[in-house]
Amino acid sequence: MKIKIEKEDMIDFSYFKLFPEMREILDESLVPLTQSMIEIEDNLTFEFDKSLVPIKNRDMMQRMKKLYHPNNENKEELDYVKNFILSTTITFAGYPNTKTKEKANNFQAEQVFYHGSKVEKDIYQKYNCIIEDNIISKFGKKGAMNSSFESTNPIKKEGISGGGVYKLVDTEFGFDRRLIGIGHTKKDKEHLMIGTNIKFCLDVIKKRLDAEN
């Protein structure tokens, strides 16, 4: 369902306080988030070097293939690219309508991850977003690439509102992700997705719980 957000309000998230009876009947596959799964940041902008000249999509794919070729032993180059990916990537996740199927009165869905990049501060201002409270990610204008660095059409984003927003982290087992927000708005023409920072969400929940006590 597409939710219309008023121009002056780009904050959107919801939460439910479960009664003990509900917690007891939750499916075992539902595991609560721990503190180690969440990353608290209040500024997820990135100022790209505007002096750099973009290269053509085809040339970029060829460079990526060479970079990750098994025979490439240029560790400095690989580390540079890895650190750039870690510092700029923002991932929106959700269950798009096109990946949801109904079988025998049950619904089956597939989770999809949309990997984009941080944006500059002026993009936040343009779309009436607060840097400390919002998260914006920009996606490629010419589609996406698969694991073989081949162009492919990304899955449409309809239906993923309310899904998690993540940053990539480096571990001894490779890349992993940590929750940084909740997604709620997509702007297809501008190739942007917008979410609410998890810090804002947690602060609101804590204030309400404190008020109840």
Sign of the four-CA dihedral 40, 43, 44, 46 = negative
Q: Is residue 33 part of a domain?
A: no
Most confident of 19-28, 97-106, 172-181: 172-181
* Greater model confidence, 192 or 155: 192
Q: Is residue 8 part of a domain?
A: no
CATH code for the domain in which residue 133 is found: 2.40.10
Q: Is residue 206 part of a domain?
A: yes
Most confident of 7-21, 89-103, 169-183: 169-183
Residue 144, domain extent: 41-49+56-212
Q: Which two tokens stand for residue 172?
A: 């001894």
**For residues 7 and 13, what is the distance between their CA atoms, to the nearest angstrom?**
16
Name the residue type at position 205: I
Model pLDDT, residue 151: 73
Helix axes 57-67, 75-88, angle to 10 degrees: 120
Q: Is residue 14 part of a domain?
A: no
Q: Is residue 23 part of a domain?
A: no
Q: Is residue 7 part of a domain?
A: no
Residue 90 buriedness (CB in 10 A; 0-12 / 13-18 / 19+): buried
Q: Express each pLDDT in 6-63 by its tens digit.
A: 556 788 888 888 888 888 888 888 888 898 999 999 899 999 887 877 777 778 778 8
Q: Is residue 16 part of a domain?
A: no
Residues near 4 by Cβ (< 8 Å), separated by ≥ 6? none
Residue 205 pLDDT greater than 80, yes or no: yes
Tell me what the pLDDT averaged over the chain comes to. Answer: 86
Q: Is residue 138 part of a domain?
A: yes
- Distance of alpha carbon 25 from the chain centroid: 30
- Total domains in the fold of the chain: 1
Residue 93 buriedness (CB in 10 A; 0-12 / 13-18 / 19+): middle
